[in-house]
Homo-oligomer: A and B are copies of this chain.
């Protein structure tokens, strides 16, 4: 945990350090990331970093925390807006996932750090940073799913946990795959743009909807989502 000194720091300096660390860890990951570089790019003395943080891992965890907080806040705003537009879970998810992908398109530094967090292999470091973000993701998703369930949108026998688990798998994937060729060799998200990318993204929601939503009444000829990913290339 950051020292008291860290929190007493001039906000500007704090921001410089956080930004430099996000950039460096995003570029090379935790283990290979260099505190030399962070200090140099932040314009602070190398020794100062150790006045603010116990050690490298403490800095990494703090920076990841700051970054994920930033993402959460931004996405919170977006989700609030989308919630006004879409009352039901799956249409809402379609809109929000597209926003989610766009967010990382527009914040490559956050994406790079998310990458680093998801790919950190050192057990201690991984545990430290993922515990927080995981808990947050899970809380948000479980609330969404529970609300939908309460509204009767989910098929009664379906496993709510599997729905949440798959969303938890999809979120980092959709954030990272558009920037990383080898993450999605099938849909090739890194080669898509604009509407094409959106179609691939919403296609995943179509799958979940087909699996988890209460089926439309049989009479409905105009079922809006009769099957997964209508229109996506098959």
Contact = CB atoms under 8 A, between A and B. Distances in A.
Contacts of A227: 155-158
A203 to B, nearest CB: 5
Nearest to A170: B169
- As for how many copies of this chain the complex holds, the number is 4
Contacts of A161: 186-187, 203, 229, 232-234
Contact of A120 (B121, B206, B210): B121
Contact of A203 (B138, B162, B187): B162
Nearest to A184: B165
A130 interface: yes
A137 to B, nearest CB: 8
21 contacts: A28-B121, A32-B121, A116-B121, A126-B182, A131-B182, A138-B185, A155-B210, A157-B228, A157-B234, A158-B207, A159-B206, A161-B229, A161-B232, A162-B187, A162-B206, A162-B229, A163-B207, A168-B186, A169-B170, A207-B208, A211-B211
Give 8 nearest A-B pairs by CB, closest first: A159-B229, A29-B121, A157-B227, A211-B211, A130-B182, A210-B211, A159-B232, A134-B185
Interface of A: 28-29, 31-32, 115-116, 118-122, 126-127, 130-131, 134-135, 138, 142, 155-166, 168-170, 173, 181-182, 184-187, 203-204, 206-208, 210-212, 218, 226-230, 232-234
